[in-house]
Chain A
Amino acid sequence: MKTSFRTIALVFGREFRAYFATPLAAVFLLVFLALSAGLAFFAGGFFERGQADLGPFFAWHPWLFLILMPAIGMRLWADERRSGVIELLMTLPVRAHEVVIGKFLAGWAFTAVALVLTMSFWLVTLYLGSPDNGIVAASYIGSFLMAGAFLAISACVSAMTKNQVIAFILAAIVSFLLVMSGTNLVLAALRGWAPAFVVDLVQSLSFITNFDRLTRGVLEAPAVILFVSTIVLALWINVQVVDAKKAA
């Protein structure tokens, strides 16, 4: 598959800047910081635990991302369709996968900015105690990968509609299912009738279960593979949707 990295870089640059063209970026970053801090302190018992670790902070990430990543991803394609720019973009000498990758990377880089801003927590725990830096680093990598998986799903859903609100809701629902599939609520409902391998499969696809593994400080291959392959699969579908549904 021929790929122009120049095209990817150009699309990336445009989209990344587009996040900051409106106050949306600032609002998003503030909301993310406030929620991740607030949840860690008030619902996670960050101080009360008396331990210098970031567990309560990361524990909320699957729930935060399942709302925030669709918010980042919803405009990537739906807006192009609504404004008609997709017609201009896809008649430039570019390949669909170059645009898909460029847009995804822009959203992912924006997410990275949000995550980097939260590293003040890390500094606080370093000041207050001695956290296990390996665990923190692994958790950040895991959080970034999981965010990428949510984002790729959101971008893919965004390509299917010209309505950003619909894109947001559909992406949030898909993300919610992927988070919930590891909870006892879902697994217990399955255990009654489904064969064991189905239960195991559903559990193995759970973003929460896999993210928990990473936050324990080991970059476990299955978890990394799950998130990376979710990204690849979602982007591949994204390319097919863009190719097939240009004019709709």
Chain B
Amino acid sequence: MQLVQASGLVKTFSRLRAVDGVSLEVSRGEVVGFLGPNGAGKSTTMKMLTGFLEPDAGTASIAGHDVFADPIAARRRLGYLPEGAPAYGDMTVADFLAFVGRMRGLANSALGERLAEMVERVNLAAVWNRPIDALSKGFKRRVGIAQALIHDPEVLILDEPTDGLDPNQKHDMRELISAIAPGKAIVISTHILEEVEAICSRVVIIDEGRVVADATPSALLDAAAVDGRRPTLEAVFRSITGSKAA
């Protein structure tokens, strides 16, 4: 069974067709890098995958549960980091993660264990009792990751998890994603192409609302090779997404 399954997703905002027939399948163990120029429809697609935004056409399901027909079951199996890692700024990290954990059905010792694991894995001990408003961008992002992981979901959808992080933090975030990847289906959107080569098992590139490439990073590079010499992923990205990106 595909943990993430989307077919023919369409979304139009007033007159702009933001997403135009995107289909996507992600199975267990895969880390899919979701690439595209700004405004290509990455975030909109992710919002539809999570059931936050209702598509004009098409379907999406998480672990076999349709995100619109059976939203509660689908959302239970999903961890989602929305764009910009929003959180309740007035709460401390500890209170916020406990709140999300409880909203996800965790309680008592199970909640305590998960919170302890988040402190450890996402490295939050230094800011545990600080209000989120007072955190640096890097820590805010990590809190966003921790709330997405709190219930150990099968499916993770992360919208720009490394945006605004410094190189060390980016490195840590990639290590973390690679470490949790086995046994989960993960979709991450990013602008950073080196990140895709570092952690993704598959690349999906979208442009103007359509999927224009869907392959492993090395297959993508092989296909674009000239005289046996592979171009950089950046060159491939620029040639695929065309004049607009150039």
The answer to whether A132 has its CB under 8 Å from any CB of chain B is no
Q: Taking the complex as formed, is A85 at the interface, i.e. its CB lies under 8 A from any CB of chain B?
A: yes
On whether A85 and B104 interact (CB within 8 A), knowing A91-B50, A91-B78, the answer reads no
Inter-chain contact A10/B102, CB cutoff 8 Å: yes
- Let me know if A90 and B83 touch, CB within 8 A: no
Q: Do A90 and B52 touch (CB < 8 A)?
A: yes
- Whether a CB of chain B sits under 8 angstroms from the CB of A130 is no
Q: How far is the CA of A85 from the CA of B83 in the complex (A)?
A: 10
Across the interface, which residues of B come within 8 angstroms of A87, CB to CB? 47, 52, 80, 82-83, 86
Contact B53 A246 (CB under 8 A): yes
Interface size class of A (residues with CB under 8 A): 20 to 34
Say which residue of B50, B51, B86, B99 sits within 8 Å of A14 (CB atoms).
B99
Residues of chain A with a CB closer than 8 A to B53's CB: 246-247
B72 within 8 A of A: yes
Q: Are A247 and B83 neighbours in the complex by a CB distance under 8 Å? A: no
A128 beta carbon closer than 8 Å to chain B: no
Is B16 an interface residue when CB atoms closer than 8 A count as contact? Answer: no
Q: Which residues of A contact B105 (CB under 8 A)?
A: 93
Verify B52–A91 contact, CB threshold 8 A.
yes
Is there an interface contact between A7 and B90, defined as CB atoms closer than 8 Å?
no
Q: A185 to nearest B CB, angstroms?
A: 41
A116 within 8 A of B: no
Determine whether the beta carbon of B82 is less than 8 Å from that of A88.
yes
Q: Given the interface contacts A84-B83, A247-B53, does A94 sit within 8 Å of B103 by beta carbon?
A: yes
Cα A178 to Cα B84 in complex, Å, equals 40
Please report the C-alpha to C-alpha distance between residue A22 and residue B71 in the assembled complex, in whole angstroms: 34
Residues of chain A lying within 8 A (CB to CB) of residue B90: 18, 21-22
A213, CB-defined interface residue at 8 Å: no
Report how many residues on chain B are interfacial, defined by Cβ distance under 8 Å.
28
Contact with A along B38-65 (1 / 0, CB 8 A): 0000000001001111000000000000
Q: How far apart sit A161 and B104, CA to CA, in the bound complex (Å)?
A: 27
Residues of A within 8 A of B80 (CB): 87-88, 91
Measured between alpha carbons, how far is A1 from B168 in the docked complex, in Å?
Answer: 48
**Most B-side CB within 10 Å, residue of A18, A83, A92, A94:** A92
A93's contact among B86, B104, B147, by CB below 8 Å, is which? B104
- Bound-complex Cα distance A29 to B221 (A): 64
Partner of B86, one of A84, A94, A95: A84
| Residues of chain B contacted by A246 (CB below 8 angstroms) | 52-53
Q: What residues of chain A lie closer than 8 Å to B51, measured between beta carbons?
A: 91
- The complex places the Cα of A95 from the Cα of B51 at a distance, in Å, of 12
For chain A, residues 1 to 39, give those with C-beta under 8 angstroms from any C-beta of chain B.
6-7, 10-11, 14, 18, 21-22
B28 interface residue per 8 A CB criterion? no
Q: Which residues of B89-136 have CB atoms within 8 Å of chain A's CB atoms?
A: 89-91, 99-100, 102-105
Given A84-B84, A88-B82: A93 touches B72 (CB 8 Å cut-off): yes
- B76, A93: Cβ atoms closer than 8 Å: yes
Are B104 and A92 in contact (CB-based, < 8 A)? yes
Min CB–CB distance A97 → chain B (angstroms): 13
- Residue B233 interfacial (CB < 8 Å): no
**Docked pose: A247 CA to B100 CA in angstroms:** 20
Q: Check A88/B72 contact, CB under 8 A, given A246-B52, A247-B52.
A: no
Cα distance, A199 to B21, chains bound together (Å): 54
- The reply on B142 being an interface residue by CB < 8 A is no
What residues of chain B lie closer than 8 Å to A93, measured between beta carbons? 71-73, 75-76, 103-105
Distance between Cα atoms of A22 and B75 in the complex (Å): 32
User: When the two chains form their complex, are residues A83 and B99 in contact, meaning their CB atoms are under 8 A apart?
Assistant: no
CB distance from A78 to the nearest CB of B (A): 14
CB contacts (< 8 Å) of A18 on chain B: these are 88, 90-91
Bound complex: CA of A92 vs CA of B102, how far in Å? 10
A-B complex: 3 closest residue pairs judged by Cβ atoms: A84-B86, A21-B90, A87-B82
Instruction: Apart from A84-B82, A91-B82, list 4 A-B contacts with CB within 8 A.
Output: A18-B88, A21-B91, A85-B87, A90-B52
